[in-house]
């Protein structure tokens, strides 16, 4: 049986919490190292389930991984088995990032075609178009996507219809070893992509413009093994910021980059939080009761879709009505029914949630449908009357190292069974 997190709503959270490296950077950085033989080291690696799944992908491809604490060593051999099988892609769709790196390194890649997932349809057409522009050819047989680059990959002008994070990353990895210059237009600007570019430059890649809408990559012949520290996880940091806010607490989040959470912090200030920031820390003091505020998710530097459920949990107890618009995923409000069991008053119409703030929530058993919604339900439990039991905990484990321990160290009445 799946484990459960039990949380009893109570007083304000207080104290300090440290965050680790970003899930959405490290998963790709583990694949980036496949592009060159040798021993690589990643530090500040979070102890989360998705990293373990990506380790299985790397082992399947032929690499050897050793994790000690928050350091991961990957030994990449000269010959790779360029495939990601269905059971791994199903468990973690980020496995599709092997397409670009394996095409670049091996000239071929076989990846189980990802279906939809917890958040909706999630196609990979943009990834494939970008790689096709560089000379890759794809066929889909019996659920397996096979990519090959018969004449080798060549630099190209790549126009993304949407600044997709995954498509930008796949194009980037493919371009690094391609012949000639590539320009990725309408590229995603996420801090995690900048960190992948940083790692690639440390490996010897020639990349410019990351963090802007056009990334230029001059292909190089060779790369070197790398030792890289993963950028802090802004989603983990943001989740603890909301924990402070929803409990009316006073929490310092250490080892984060507040600059990467600008829009999320703007919204937390708008609900009434007092926020102080330094280069790598932030203090969040929550209000007695939050004010309502409208939020719309957008690609970076907009409000992150992966912070939307936590924000809705906070707004569910706000004074007033908020409209939350989800612009990235078609099934991201699936958790709202669970919040409603706790007494939240939320109506969903297409991509909009109308969150009519209630005075209090009431603890009860709820089920986490995905990582961030799972975290949001735990946060709601911090403010609810009585006990909330969240099942589907493995979702939370995918993205948070020791979520229960960290919240407990801030004074939450929380345990896991």
Please list the active-site residues: 117
Among the listed ranges 77-85, 158-166, 219-227, 407-415, the one in contact with ligand UD1 (CB under 6 A) is 158-166
* Straight-line distance from the first to the last Cα atom of the chain, in angstroms, rounded to the nearest whole number: 10
Task: Give the interface size with ligand UD1 as a residue count (CB under 6 A).
Answer: 18
Among the listed ranges 80-88, 162-170, 285-293, 344-352, the one in contact with ligand UD1 (CB under 6 A) is 162-170
**Considering only residues 30, 65, 80, 167, which one is a binding residue for ligand UD1 as defined by CB under 6 A?**
167
In the complex, what is the shortest distance from the CB of residue 69 to ligand UD1, in angstroms, rounded to a whole number?
23
Q: How far is 275 from 84, CA to CA, in rounded Å?
A: 43
- Helices 234-246 and 23-32, packing angle to 10 deg: 170
- Could you say whether residue 162 binds ligand UD1 (CB under 6 A)? yes
Give the footprint of ligand UD1 on residues 312-351 (CB under 6 A).
328-329
CA dist 377 → 27, 362, 372, 393 (Å) = 25, 12, 9, 11
Q: How far is 49 from 71, CA to CA, in rounded Å?
A: 15
**Residue 142, Cβ neighbours under 10 Å: how many?**
6
Give the footprint of ligand UD1 on residues 90-109 (CB under 6 A).
94
Q: How far is 270 from 264, CA to CA, in rounded Å?
A: 10
**Considering only residues 31, 126, 158, 245, which one is a binding residue for ligand UD1 as defined by CB under 6 A?**
126
Compose the 14-43 pattern: x for residues touching ligand UD1 by CB under 6 A, - for all others. Answer: ----------x--x----------------
H helices within 45-85, ranges in order?
49-61
CA dist 167 → 12, 158, 347 (Å) = 41, 10, 33
Locate 136 and state its tokens.
């890759």
In the complex, what is the shortest distance from the CB of residue 45 to ligand UD1, in angstroms, rounded to a whole number?
15
**Considering only residues 100, 166, 191, 392, which one is a binding residue for ligand UD1 as defined by CB under 6 A?**
166
Kindly tell me which of 23 and 110 has the beta carbon lying closer to ligand UD1.
23
- Could you list the residues that contact ligand UD1 (CB under 6 A)? 24, 27, 94, 122-127, 162, 164-167, 305-306, 328-329
């Amino acid at each position: 049986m799946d484990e459960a997190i039990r949380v009893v709503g109570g007083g304000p959270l207080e104290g300090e919490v440290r965050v680790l490296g970003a899930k959405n950077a490290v998963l790709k950085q583990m694949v980036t190292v496949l592009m060159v033989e040798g021993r690589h080291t990643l530090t500040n690696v979070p102890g989360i389930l998705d990293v373990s799944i990506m380790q299985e992908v790397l082992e399947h491809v032929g690499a050897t991984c050793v994790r000690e604490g928050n350091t991961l060593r990957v030994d990449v051999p000269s010959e790779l088995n360029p495939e990601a099988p269905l059971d791994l892609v199903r468990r973690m769709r980020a496995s599709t990032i092997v397409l670009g790196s394996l095409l670049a390194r091996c000239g071929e890649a076989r990846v189980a075609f990802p279906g939809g997932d917890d958040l909706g349809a999630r196609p990979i057409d943009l990834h494939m178009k970008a790689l096709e522009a560089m000379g890759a050819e794809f066929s889909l047989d019996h659920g397996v996507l096979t990519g090959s680059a018969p004449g080798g990959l060549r630099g190209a002008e790549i126009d993304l219809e949407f600044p997709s994070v995954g498509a930008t990353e796949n194009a980037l990895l493919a371009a690094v070893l391609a012949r000639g210059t590539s320009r990725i237009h309408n590229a995603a600007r996420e801090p995690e992509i900048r960190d992948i570019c940083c790692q690639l430059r440390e490996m010897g890649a020639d990349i410019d413009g990351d963090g802007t809408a056009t990334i230029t990559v001059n292909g190089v012949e060779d790369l070197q093994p790398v030792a890289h520290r993963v950028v802090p996880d802004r989603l983990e940091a943001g989740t603890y910021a909301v924990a402070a806010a929803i409990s009316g607490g006073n929490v310092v989040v250490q080892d984060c980059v507040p600059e990467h959470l600008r829009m999320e912090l703007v919204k937390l200030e708008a609900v009434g939080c007092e926020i102080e920031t330094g280069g790598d820390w932030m203090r969040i003091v929550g209000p007695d009761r939050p004010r309502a505020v409208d939020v719309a998710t957008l690609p970076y530097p907009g409000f992150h879709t992966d912070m939307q459920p936590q924000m809705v949990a906070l707004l569910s107890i706000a004074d007033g009505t908020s409209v939350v618009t989800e612009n990235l995923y078609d099934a991201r409000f699936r958790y709202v029914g669970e919040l409603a069991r706790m007494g939240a008053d939320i109506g969903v119409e297409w991509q909009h949630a109308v969150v009519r703030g209630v005075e209090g929530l009431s603890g009860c058993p709820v089920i986490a449908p995905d990582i961030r919604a799972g975290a949001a339900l735990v946060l709601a439990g911090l403010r609810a009357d009585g006990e909330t039991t969240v099942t589907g905990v493995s979702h939370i484990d995918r993205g948070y190292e020791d979520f229960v321990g960290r919240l407990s160290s801030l004074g939450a009445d929380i345990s896991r069974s």
